[in-house]
Amino acid sequence: MNLFLEISVLLITVIYSYLEALVKLFIPAKRKSIGAEIILITGAGHGIGRATAFEFAKHQSTLVLWDINKHGVEETADECRRLGSTVHTFVVNCSKREDIYSTAEKVKKNIGDVTILVNNAGVVSCADLLSLQDHQVQNTFDVNILAHFWTSKAFLPAMMRNDHGHVVTVASTAGHIGFEYLVDYCSSKFAAVGYHKALTAELSALGKYGIKTSCLCPVFVNTGFVKNPSTRLMPVLKPETVARKLLDGILTNKKMIFVPSSVNIFLFLNLFLPERALVALNKLQDLKFDAVVHGGKED
Ligand X SMILES: *[C@@H]1O[C@H](CO)[C@@H](O)[C@H](O)[C@H]1NC(C)=O
Ligand Y SMILES: NC(=O)c1ccc[n+]([C@@H]2O[C@H](COP(=O)([O-])OP(=O)(O)OC[C@H]3O[C@@H](n4cnc5c(N)ncnc54)[C@H](O)[C@@H]3O)[C@@H](O)[C@H]2O)c1
Report, in this order, helix, strand and coil percent for the chain, each rounded to 5: 50, 15, 35
Strand bridging mode 211-218 / 256-259? parallel
Choose among ligand X, ligand Y, none what residue 165 binds, the Cβ cut-off being 5 to 8 Å by kind. none
185 is catalytic: yes
Choose among ligand X, ligand Y, none what residue 123 binds, the Cβ cut-off being 5 to 8 Å by kind. ligand Y
Q: Does 121 bind ligand Y (CB under 6 A)?
A: yes
How far is residue 277 from each of residues 17, 131, 159, 269, 287, measured CA to CA in Å?
Answer: 32, 29, 46, 10, 16
Instruction: Pick between residue 92 and residue 237 the one whose CB is nearest to ligand X.
Output: 92
- Nearest CA to 256 among 186, 182, 170? 170
- Nearest CA to 273 among 175, 177, 173, 174? 177
Q: Which of 94, 182, 215, 250: binder of ligand Y (CB under 6 A)?
A: 94
Q: Does 143 bind ligand Y (CB under 6 A)?
A: yes
3-class DSSP assignment, residue 40: strand
Residues 217/255, Cβ–Cβ less than 8 Å:
no
Q: Which of 62, 85, 89, 95: binder of ligand Y (CB under 6 A)?
A: 95
Instruction: Pick between residue 55 and residue 67 the one whose CB is nearest to ligand X.
Output: 67
Instruction: Return the range that interacts with ligand Y (CB under 6 A); candidates 5-13, 24-32, 44-52, 207-215.
Output: 44-52
Task: Point out the catalytic residue in the list 18, 101, 185, 209.
Answer: 185
CA–CA gap between residue 199 and residue 193 (Å, rounded): 10
Who contacts 90 (Cβ-Cβ below 8 Å, separation ≥6)? 64, 65, 66, 73, 103, 106, 107
Q: How far is the CB of 234 from ligand X (least distance, A)?
A: 32
- Residue 258 CB neighbours (<10 A): 21
Instruction: Pick between residue 164 and residue 244 the one whose CB is nearest to ligand Y.
Output: 244
Rg, Å, the chain Cα set: 20
Q: How far is the CB of 236 from ligand Y (least distance, A)?
A: 8
Instruction: Pick between residue 60 and residue 139 the one whose CB is nearest to ligand X.
Output: 139
Residue 40, phi-psi category: left (phi > 0), alpha (psi -120 to 50), beta (remainder): beta
Instruction: Return the range that interacts with ligand Y (CB under 6 A); candidates 21-29, 199-207, 220-228, 263-271.
Output: 220-228
Residue nearest to ligand X (CB): 93
CA–CA gap between residue 37 and residue 117 (Å, rounded): 10
Burial group, residue 124, by CB count within 10 angstroms (0-12, 13-18, 19+)? buried
Binding flags for ligand Y, 52-91, as an x/- string (CB under 6 A):
---------------xxx--x-------------------
Instruction: Pick between residue 27 and residue 132 the one whose CB is nearest to ligand Y.
Output: 132
Instruction: Pick between residue 91 and residue 278 the one whose CB is nearest to ligand X.
Output: 91
Q: Which of 34, 37, 39, 46: binder of ligand Y (CB under 6 A)?
A: 46
State the residues that interact with ligand Y by CB under 6 A.
43, 45-49, 67-69, 72, 92-95, 120-123, 143, 170, 172, 218, 220-221, 223, 225-226
Q: Which residues are catalytic?
A: 185
